[in-house]
Amino acid sequence: MKKIKIYDTTLRDGTQAEDVHFSLEDKIRVAQKLDELGIDYIEGGWPASNPTDQRFFQEIQNYHFKRAKITAFGSTHGVNKTPDTDENLASLINSRVKVITIFGKTWDIHVREALKTTLEHNLELIAGSLAKLKPEVEELFFDAEHFFDGFKENKDYALACLQKALEGGADVLVLCDTNGGTTPLEIKGIVEEVKKRFPQTTLGIHTHNDSELAVANSLIAVEAGIEQVQGTINGYGERCGNANLCSIIPNLQLKMGYECIPAENLRLLTSVSLFVSEVANLPSFHRQPFVGKSAFAHKGGIHVSAVRKNPRTYEHIPPESVGNKQRILLSDLAGQSNILFKAKQYGFYLDKNDPFVLELLAKLKHLESEGYEYTAAEASFELLLNRVLGRTRTYFSLENYRVLESKRKDEDPLSEATVMVRVGGMLEHTAASGKGPVNALDNALRKALEKFYPCLKEMHLIDFKVRVFSSFKKDLSGTASRVRVLIESGDAKQRWVTVGVSYNIIEASRQALEDSLNYKLFKEDQEKLTKALQEVTKDM
């Protein structure tokens, strides 16, 4: 099995994405996670460009990496400087890494219009910069910036730049589709030509995603003879992003027969993707291939029926191979198979002819037609399932609630909620204030219930989402539209999402809050029952 070296540039090229920023601590944490995954090279940044990257290369000396080599990135020396007087090259050497990557111009338009120098002088910049760095490192890579565009417009000059890089001491020539406009067939043909010109040279590929082709271009480049692939986790990068390693690695390893990372590490891919998105403070892309939450999610009843018989019918790989999992969704497209599958997840083994299944399916479709979303709010569905089966008790009943809003000039708005809650035979009448009406209502409910259910102190609200539904009916459009509220709650053990729908945002929030509290109490009951059964089993 041929080895393809994976070069990750999330910490440098990835940070050029519009919404991505990593602190020093973030960069170290991500680097450690990439090493766990089995990445060969981790580009830590450009030490001459900013203080964070400078500190990264200082701090990273205190960490041990099992597999990955930390790489510093920079450019050829300045047009009006020499290799010995250039601060950029000096900072690369001072970073004390064993691998350095520098880029140079290979498209004549950039040489003339961006660098404002001659084609001959640019060749000197490339050779001189690499020759200066070569004695300082174990490996030296040259990123041929805009190589494919340069090759198409002036092939001889683009190839001359590669020749000068080799003369300067480059160990790997990395061909860059910097503008992301080259097609796979163009990539293949050009890589094959370069391979013929430099048959003994190791080649790399660095593609951008401006034409939605970065992954495809990387894969076809490997087939044409490339041995190093550069990219980022989740495809983060400037403009439309870089080649996505979360797609490249499993495609190369599972479908094309190459070795990228240790086989056992492939199961870490989904968790690494989620980790990087969390550190970057960006929502994960649910429909991302291989590692996205929706990558192996099935919604249509016919699909679910087939997947239950054989997952291969609608899954191109086992989701577990990349650390993901199969999900069966519930919606108005759901059939009996969806209900049976979800019921089995919760410990109910039902027959497709069971009247309960038909009742629940009809109820589910009616509620979703009203705007309820059980695909995301699985906690609300689990409660619905158990209520229809008669498997959950009534923990409390909200008899009445009122929310008041007031605002005085030059003061923050004041929110106050009053609730009347019945628990067993007792009626609790309480009030509480909060930061907004939903928080006030949440505080009032907790104030009334925590004396009966102390475990509610353990849970907290994590996220709150509101979506407005448009309608063709005049009385249900604009500010009178229905809204769906999704509330994510959690405790030390788990997280769960509940849903509420109404034309009144407070009422929709009340429904989701009430479900969230009920779900916590329901799971506590289940845990107590499980422990009790375990004790009985021990005594038998």
- Average pLDDT value for residue range 443-455: 94
70 versus 394: the higher-pLDDT residue is: 70
**Low-confidence winner among 105-119, 317-331, 390-404, 468-482 (lowest mean pLDDT):** 468-482
**Are 315 and 298 a contacting pair, CB within 8 Å?**
no
* The predicted structure's pLDDT at residue 540: 60
Q: Which residue has the higher pLDDT, 407 or 257?
A: 257
- pLDDT over 80 (residue 372): no
Does the pLDDT at position 143 exceed 80?
A: yes
Return the CATH architecture of domain 5-279: Alpha-Beta Barrel (3.20)
pLDDT classification of 187: cutoffs 50, 70, 90: very high
Q: For residues 490-506, b (16+ Cβ closer than 10 Å) or e, as one string? A: bbeeeebbbbbbbbebb
Per-residue pLDDT at 391: 77
Residue, of 330 and 58, whose pLDDT is higher: 58
Can you tell me whether residue 140 is helix, strand or coil?
Answer: strand
- Mean pLDDT for the chain overall: 90
pLDDT at 301 over 70: no
**How far, CA to CA in Å, does 340 sit from each of 257, 363, 389?**
37, 15, 13
pLDDT at site 380: 87
What CATH class does 459-540 carry? alpha beta
Asked if pLDDT for residue 373 goes beyond 80, the answer is no
Element (H, E) at 369: helix 355-369
For the segment 61-105, what is each residue's pLDDT rounded down to a tens digit? 999 999 999 999 999 999 999 999 999 999 999 999 999 999 999
pLDDT of residue 347: 67
Q: Where in the chain is the domain with CATH 4.10.430.20?
A: 297-369
Contact at 8 Å (CB) between 228 and 258? no
Class of 396-452 in CATH: alpha beta
Domain with CATH 3.20.20.70 in the chain: 5-279
pLDDT tens-place string over residues 509-530: 999 999 999 999 999 988 887 7
Q: Is the pLDDT of residue 160 over 70?
A: yes
The whole-number pLDDT of residue 306 equals: 83
Assigned CATH class of 297-369: few secondary structures
Least confident of 67-76, 137-146, 358-367: 358-367
User: Which segment of 2-6, 200-204, 491-495 scores lowest on mean pLDDT?
Assistant: 491-495
Q: What is the largest CA-CA distance in the chain?
A: 91
Confidence of residue 472 (pLDDT cuts 50, 70, 90): very low
**Per-residue pLDDT tens over the stretch 263-286:** 999 999 999 999 999 889 888 898
| Percent of the chain predicted with pLDDT > 70 | 91
CA dihedral 194→197→200→202, nearest 10 degrees, is -20
Distance CA 490, CA 419 (A): 23
Please name every residue paired with 105 in a beta bridge, in sequence order, or none if there are none.
145
